[in-house]
Amino acid sequence: MVRYSNVSFLGEVDKTAFVYSKDSVRASSLTMDVQGYFGTVADNLNELATELSSANNRGGWGAAKYFGTKNVTFSSYIKLYTMAQCMPDLAPSDCGICLTVVISQLPHYCQGSEGCWVLNPSCYARYQNYPFDYITPPSLLSPPLLPTGTNQSPPVTNNTSQLCS
């Protein structure tokens, strides 16, 4: 995220501006317990908010402690993936306040979608029924191993389509 302003905002919780994106598929279109699904979403995100707002869970600038994920099996065929993140300049209690505000906005902005994210300038929350918390797909991490004694170059593949979600 890039942010700029004509007033200082470092260390301040911004609870006013929201950006969101929701899946076009509504959870009710799946064969599942919709109320239980959104209850699990809320429980997981609230647990993450509690973890991220804990003074014992904060690291230095850029530490992964400002970021958390929870992945649970909701049913035999649906996994639920949740993520929360605060800007690293926030105090732990302000992180909790920000996430509480963003999580409370999920029903309004997401309107029953099976996946959605809500972002404000200070924090972010997301849930999906597919994994999204990777940075580099495993296929891009290293070239395939070649049999010993070969002089062949590894095959070149175009994996850019895997980076878009």
Q: What is the pLDDT of residues 113-129, one digit of tens each?
A: 889 999 999 999 999 98
What are 57-71's pLDDT values in tens digits?
555 544 556 788 888
Please give the average per-residue pLDDT across 44-67, as a whole number. 73
Please give the average per-residue pLDDT across 46-67, as a whole number. 72
Lowest-confidence segment of 18-22, 32-36, 138-142 by average pLDDT: 138-142
Between CA 11 and CA 94 the distance in angstroms is 8
Domains, in order of start, for the chain: 19-130 (3.30.430.20)
Backbone angles phi, psi at 162, to 5 degrees: -75, -20
Q: What is the pLDDT of residue 49?
A: 92
The helices-and-strands tally (H runs, E runs) of the chain is 3, 5
Q: Per residue in 12-28, is it b (16+ CB within 10 Å) or e — as a string?
A: ebbbeeeebebbeeebe
**Residue 84 in this model has a pLDDT that exceeds 90:** yes
Please give the average per-residue pLDDT across 143-149, as a whole number. 48
Burial class (CB in 10 A: 0-12, 13-18, 19+), 101: buried
**What mean pLDDT value characterizes the chain?**
76
3-state secondary structure of 77: coil
